[in-house]
Amino acid sequence: MEHDAGNEAAGAEENSYAGRKLRVTSFWVQCCAPAGYENTFGQIEPILLTELHCPLYNLYGSSCKGGMPLRTEKDGKDVPFGRIIRYQNGVNRMTEKERMLAGELYDAHDPELRRDAARSRRITRLFNNTTEEQQNYRRELLKELFGSTGENIYIEPPFRCDYGSNTYIGENFYANFDCIILDVAEVYIGSNCLFGPRVCVYTPCHPIDAGVRNTGLESGKAISIGNNVWIGDNAVINPGVTIGNNVVIGSGSVVTKDIPDNVVAAGNPCRVLRPITEEDKQYWSALLDEYRRSKVYPS
């Protein structure tokens, strides 16, 4: 794992956390209790790590770089826990990209970020210029564009995004025309998700104060969308929102707050209208059975 030598001596101490001792070096972890696990994790404060993998809460990440997400497995689920933040002599030494992914103020005109943005523009340009006969090529481009996808993914051109590499998509994803995903922070989309036309997913945030905003600095908040989610046309998903599993979001909704599992929600601002019930399942299962019977013809 990469270390900041100037902070090595300052970090070489033992940190007691949750009743355990942890030998630390130079990496702070900015932690947060995953949604639904606040009582399990209790009060969480920044801790120091020596390794990318920390047995304390089975923490792990895909990269040693600052700003990259750490995750933990709880109850068999992969949930976000925190981020690695690099400090040297008490000063934040993250790159602009690392700051962006950590949700801190960053400069979007940074050369590394401009190169990443140029990459996404190139891939989306190629994708949007494909024809309906080039389905395999479309899939190849989408898999190159995104951080990860399931095997089955279908997006109707045109499609736009900031980076693509910060978006992670599960199995069986479909997005209709004019989808926009602005992923300066991570966007997590589960399996079996369906987006209607012109669904927009926005992670960027701009300072409320005009003076700071005019500097050009901005930030972002990650968005998480669960499994089996249908988002109707012209819906807007705002920064920092989590949408649960088995959710229907009505057309034209502006989602500004978290939406729980198993509900129908709609409106501006989007609010829960009702739960999805066993009666719903029985009703739609009966229609499915009727459809299947209609496809069985006598010999």
- DSSP 8-state code for residue 54: B
The pLDDT score that the predictor gives to residue 297 is 65
**Domain range list for the chain:** 5-94, 107-282
Kindly give, in sequence order, each residue whose CB lies less than 8 Å from that of residue 171, ignoring residues fewer than 6 positions away: 150, 151, 152, 191, 192
Which residue in the list 3, 53, 109, 206 is annotated as catalytic?
206
Average the pLDDT over each of 23-32, 78-87, 274-283 and give the range with the smallest value.
23-32
Q: Which residues make beta-bridge pairs with 248?
A: 230, 264
What is the number of other CB atoms lying within 10 angstroms of the CB of residue 69? Answer: 19
- Per-residue pLDDT, 86: 52
- 64 vs 39: CA distance, rounded Å: 29
224 Ramachandran zone, left/alpha/beta (phi>0; psi -120 to 50):
beta
Which of 227, 151, 162 shows the shortest CA–CA distance to 188? 227
Please state which CATH number belongs to domain 107-282: 2.160.10.10
284 is written with which tokens? 């739609």
Please say whether the beta carbons of 115 and 98 come within 8 A. no
How many whole angstroms separate alpha carbon 89 and alpha carbon 297?
A: 76
Is the pLDDT score of 150 beyond 60? yes
* pLDDT tens, residue by residue, 121-141: 999 999 999 999 999 999 999
* Residue 206 known to be catalytic: yes
Residue 159 pairs with which residues in a beta bridge?
179
Residue 178 amino acid letter: D
**Using one digit for the tens of pLDDT, what is the confidence trace for 50-86?**
333 343 333 333 333 334 444 444 444 444 445 545 5
